[in-house]
Structure 1
Amino acid sequence: MKWWQKQRSGDNSQNIQAVVANFGMGYEDVLAVVSNYVDVRLAALSQSAFEEARDRVEEFTVNYIHRIQGESPEVLQNTRDPGVQSALLDAQSAYAKMGDEDLGQVLVEMLAKRTETTERNVQQLALAEAIVATGKLSYKHVRVLTALFLTLAVTFGAPTSPEDLYQRLRNNLSPILAGLRFSDADVQYLADTGATRIELLSSRAIPSTLRETYPGLYCMGLDREIFPAVKKYENGPIIIPCIRNPALLQVNASSQSHLEALLPQFGLEGEKAELLTLLTGNPMDNTEVQRELTSRVPGMGEFIELWEGGVLKNSVPSIVGMAIAHANLKATSGGDFTADLNIWIS
């Protein structure tokens, strides 16, 4: 996402006035909300702080309208809704205080999604809370949250091979992990803001999570004598030579959801339970999964060390946290991350 900056002195500044001129009548409605925020909430600041906060509010608002005009200009009329205006004020307040461009992009994505509907539902409520929570975070916290979301909540369709999966992780996760360092205090703080939950009685390991999500990519092969049930399927399309040991067999699916999608095509709906058992048979050892993962995905080795050495392994993203992480991926992926928030919050 391109971030339009307020005109300031210096060679790298950008003039947002040209952008504003193209917004049309909807801009005036949003500008009224901006003026109200500046007049009421910022009046108590010193003159220099007031001017800086006012510039940030204008900068944020222009980027917000630019984002909507670029994808769904018809929803700009929803800015007349009191709930949308309240969310806009919260987002402006957050950006006025921090002025962090990376966090600003996350706020713009969430606010744009919040503006799409005036229906009071769980997604709308989660986005409103996520906007408030983001104002309490640093961008490092958002990156940790995004890494957690990608590791535990996001599946990458039906990868055709381990290398296909690792390429998707390199594209989506490695940029988030680059140079990322965090402490247990950071993870605890995320929980305190409501972005995650810490469940001390349960823990998750990245290699086993990956193996359980994509059992077909980590199958070491089914021996006909050890898994006799495989023999009745081996001449059909649901069984193939094992991708890791062609002398053995495996189910022709990368994951449970992939298998479930294939069963009706092959008329095997009644064999689901048996084929699921075969899909997860003879898995790769977790140590080998970790070795392969860390050698193929930059940043993963350091991330696993931090994960296993602290309380992140006991954490899961909340609905609010998923909204924040989803917005960050939308803002930073350059259009590669297209999954709708409805997949996780509906």
Structure 2
Amino acid sequence: MINDQVQKQQGGNASTNLQGQSIVINQGISYSDARDIALDVYKSNFLQLSHDAAELARTRAEELTDSFLTKLKETNETAIEQMKQPAMQAALYEAQKQYAKSGDEYMEYMLVDILVQRASTPERNTKQIVLDEALEVVSKLTNVQLNILSLNFGLTRLSKNSIINIDSLINYINNELLVFVNPNSDYHQSWFEHLAYSGCVVLLDATWYHDIPELLLGNYPALFQKGFDEKEFEEFVGKPISQFNTLLMHCFHAVNLYQFNLMNEKLLVDKANELGIENELTNKLKQYFNIRLMNKNEVKEWLPVIPHLIFDLKNLTAIGHSDLLLLFAGRSL
């Protein structure tokens, strides 16, 4: 019939078919919805303060919320959906509460960064649990203590592939390590004890202590080879040095000497295996690599670029690592 409205549709696999005279589609929450949710959670839970204090706290909570949602939209917009989850709302409220009380800009930066990571981690796993815990702990730490964690991480857990020569090592020390050292600060034992109390580190027995030259030597051994000449190499290895040109280069510390061109013994062994060098000879190369390394005192003498202060921070490297340390350090570096 003329007035019949025949409606027919087809759809392929995994398609969404919609049919009707008037259709409203709502497949998720918007930025505005997420902001309203976040501020409603804050208003419903935060302390009742005097008028001026309440207004300041509300302004700070809004600042943090806007910073978080803006960054989340830029980096992982689909994660805004997590704002419907009670656990994510609780995480955001914890961050709002901490920043509303302090107003510290650096803390806001840390909290926003943690929140973005939290929203991007929907599954309940170790990372999500650590992120939730970090939102509470970060407010208990001073900027100096956060710098201690970053410096510790950079020295004890980080080996950068971009460090391939002396210049890049010195650049790393000056621009990525020393920025966390305040020469005017007296590093009190109580600061490290508080880090342990906060769950960020584990204080270790002094026998676990490795000083900083030793750590640099362990992370970047090829940069601290003393070098060798052709005769010394051939006497130890028992083969002409010309057979190993692929593994050698001129020494960083003496242009008339040679050294291995791989950063550590593992890479040296891998390269030797790739070249088909027999195991017995590979073991000799590995031994010679280690024999020709500086000791930690020689490293210390060679690195005047590092202020003496950094060598005296024994507490700095005499601490173990918790997941929170790795989180805070990773965010700060």
Normalising to structure 2: TM-score of the pair? Answer: 0.81
Task: Give the alignment of 1:213-292 within 5 angstroms.
Answer: 213-222=219-228, 224-225=231-232, 228-229=236-237, 231=239, 234-236=242-244, 237-256=246-265, 258-259=267-268, 262-263=271-272, 265-268=274-277, 270=279, 273-292=283-302
The residue identity in structure 2 corresponding to 1:42 is L
Cα separation, 2, equivalents of 1:264 and 1:57 = 58
Contact 2:149–2:329, Cα closer than 8 Å, also in 1? yes
Give the CA deviation at 1:165: 1.2
1:47 aligns with 2:55: no
Cα separation, 1, equivalents of 2:106 and 2:278 = 47
Cα separation, 2, equivalents of 1:273 and 1:31 = 65
User: Secondary structure of 2:320's match?
Assistant: strand
Can you give the 5+ residue segments of structure 2 that lack an aligned partner in the other structure? 1-28
Give the CA deviation at 1:318: 1.6
The residue identity in structure 2 corresponding to 1:296 is V
4+ runs deviating over 6 angstroms = none
Contact 2:35–2:66, Cα closer than 8 Å, also in 1? no
The verdict on how the C-alpha distance between 1:255 and 1:94 changes in structure 2, with shifts beyond 3 A counting, is farther
Contact 1:133–1:193, Cα closer than 8 Å, also in 2? yes
Deviations 1:83-136 (A, max 9, x none): 222221222222122111112111111111111121112222222222221021
Give the CA deviation at 1:233: 5.8
- Compute the RMSD of aligned alpha carbons: 2.5
Cα separation, 1, equivalents of 2:261 and 2:204 = 35
1:98 aligns with 2:105: no
The verdict on how the C-alpha distance between 1:231 and 1:127 changes in structure 2, with shifts beyond 3 A counting, is farther
1:148 aligns with 2:152: yes
Q: Which of 303, 307, 315 matches 2:310?
A: 303
Give the CA deviation at 1:283: 1.8
Identity of aligned residues (%): 24
Contact 1:215–1:279, Cα closer than 8 Å, also in 2? no
The verdict on how the C-alpha distance between 1:97 and 1:242 changes in structure 2, with shifts beyond 3 A counting, is same
Give the CA deviation at 1:156: 1.2
Cα separation, 2, equivalents of 1:272 and 1:87 = 53
- Equivalent residue number for residue 40 of structure 2: 35
Cα separation, 1, equivalents of 2:151 and 2:34 = 37
Task: Give the alignment of 1:1-346 within 5 angstroms.
Answer: 25-43=30-48, 45-157=49-161, 159-179=163-183, 181=185, 182-200=187-205, 201-222=207-228, 224-225=231-232, 228-229=236-237, 231=239, 234-236=242-244, 237-256=246-265, 258-259=267-268, 262-263=271-272, 265-268=274-277, 270=279, 273-293=283-303, 295-297=304-306, 300-305=307-312, 307-308=313-314, 311-329=315-333
Give the CA deviation at 1:186: 0.7
The residue identity in structure 2 corresponding to 1:303 is I
The verdict on how the C-alpha distance between 1:239 and 1:231 changes in structure 2, with shifts beyond 3 A counting, is farther
The residue identity in structure 2 corresponding to 1:302 is L
Give the CA deviation at 1:152: 0.8
Normalising to structure 1: TM-score of the pair? Answer: 0.78
Contact 2:146–2:329, Cα closer than 8 Å, also in 1? yes
The verdict on how the C-alpha distance between 1:108 and 1:146 changes in structure 2, with shifts beyond 3 A counting, is same
User: Secondary structure of 2:243's match?
Assistant: coil
User: Secondary structure of 1:135's match?
Assistant: helix
Contact 2:150–2:329, Cα closer than 8 Å, also in 1? yes
Considering only CA atoms, is the larger Rg found in Structure 1 or Structure 2?
2
Cα separation, 2, equivalents of 1:219 and 1:176 = 28
User: Secondary structure of 1:29's match?
Assistant: helix
The verdict on how the C-alpha distance between 1:58 and 1:26 changes in structure 2, with shifts beyond 3 A counting, is same
Cα separation, 1, equivalents of 2:143 and 2:180 = 11
The residue identity in structure 1 corresponding to 2:39 is V
User: Secondary structure of 2:259's match?
Assistant: strand
The verdict on how the C-alpha distance between 1:80 and 1:276 changes in structure 2, with shifts beyond 3 A counting, is farther
Can you give the 5+ residue segments of structure 1 that lack an aligned partner in the other structure? 1-23, 330-346
